[in-house]
Amino acid sequence: MFGISRDSLAAHEKFRAKVDLPYPLLSDADGAVCRLYGVLKEKNMYGKKVLGVERSTFVIDEQGRIARSFRGVKVAGHARAVVDSLPGG
């Protein structure tokens, strides 16, 4: 399992330590991975249009293909939904 966002590696390490995450967080500072997965979306922030990341989860199979995608997710209950969607979940 990996987490990825456009935040810096330093910000990720600080967050990992704060919430005691057991998996690595990867940085996509230039947005290349976000573009590949199509998660950059226009959002409204304080009345202004900005390009932001749509919170998403992708389950990648053994062959490296997207087996399942969850777009526009909310944190509450999401981890359980992902686990439940897996075989034997």
Would residue 48 count as lying in a domain? no
Would residue 49 count as lying in a domain? no
Would residue 50 count as lying in a domain? no
End-to-end CA distance of the chain: 15
33 in the same domain as 9: yes
The per-residue pLDDT for 24 is: 87
pLDDT digits (tens, 9 = 90+) for 40-63: 999 998 999 998 999 999 999 999
Would residue 46 count as lying in a domain? no
Its domain, for residue 65, covers 55-89
The per-residue pLDDT for 26 is: 92
32 in the same domain as 67: no
Distance separating alpha carbons of residues 24 and 1, to the nearest angstrom? 8
Mean pLDDT value across the chain: 91
Helix (H) or strand (E) holding 15, with range, is helix 9-19
1 pLDDT tier (thresholds 50, 70, 90):
confident
Domains of the chain: total: 2
61 in the same domain as 85: yes
The per-residue pLDDT for 88 is: 79
